[in-house]
């Protein structure tokens, strides 16, 4: 089991339950479905993408391309967007997360954030490509969501890590 040192004490991570993964993805779908408007819609992070990338990186044998595709279909239905748009973007994101999972986990959180920004940029590029194919134009301010998704990576990672920590030394 991997161990980390937080505040100088050895910590061991608890195994992740399927319930935690499922509830976190459902919560992310709910957050994506909140009524955002105006500039806030452009700045809205893709909560589902951040959560899926986290789980694809940390549990690649349990959360992968298939689950990401299925969650993307649910996101398409919930968002009333083109059927398959989110599914395609989340499948690309999951592929990057699963393939790079060992590499990403060896970095500290600051370095991980710079690495995952490229994966988020690729995900948003898929959204932009689909929009361009449908409408003939790209909405460039939409890429601001890529920046806010990247900024959300660190607090979300810390939150999930704290939920998975079990103190070993109780002195």
Distance, in Å, from the CA atom of 81 to the CA atom of 71, rounded to the nearest integer, reads 14
| CA-based torsion, 35, 57, 64, 127: positive or negative | positive
Q: What is the largest CA-CA distance in the chain?
A: 63
The highest-level CATH class for domain 3-167 is mainly alpha
The residue with tokens 């995952």 is 116
3-state DSSP call for residue 95?
Answer: helix
Contact indicator for 52, 97 with CB cutoff of 8 Å:
yes
Closest by alpha carbon to 142, among 92, 81, 91? 81
DSSP 10: E
- Domain spans of the chain? 3-167
- pLDDT tens by residue, the chain, 171 residues: 444 444 445 556 778 899 999 999 999 999 999 998 888 888 999 999 999 999 999 999 999 999 999 999 999 998 888 899 999 999 999 999 999 999 999 999 999 999 999 999 999 999 999 989 998 888 888 899 999 999 999 999 999 988 887 655 454
């Amino acid at each position: 089991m991997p161990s980390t040192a937080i505040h100088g004490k050895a910590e061991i991570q608890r195994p992740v339950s399927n319930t935690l993964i499922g509830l976190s993805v459902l919560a992310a779908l709910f957050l994506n479905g909140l009524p955002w408007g105006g500039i806030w819609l452009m700045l809205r992070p893709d909560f589902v993408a951040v959560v899926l990338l986290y789980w694809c990186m940390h549990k690649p044998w349990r959360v992968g391309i298939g689950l990401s595709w299925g969650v993307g279909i649910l996101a398409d239905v919930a968002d009333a967007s083109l059927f398959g748009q989110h599914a395609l973007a989340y499948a690309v994101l999951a592929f990057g997360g699963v393939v790079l999972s060992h590499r990403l986990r060896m970095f500290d959180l600051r370095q991980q954030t710079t690495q995952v920004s490229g994966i988020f940029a690729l995900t948003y590029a898929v959204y932009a490509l689909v929009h361009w194919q449908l409408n003939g134009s790209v909405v460039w301010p939409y890429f601001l969501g890529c920046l806010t998704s990247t900024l959300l990576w660190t607090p979300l990672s810390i939150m999930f890590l704290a939920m998975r920590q079990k103190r070993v030394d109780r002195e």
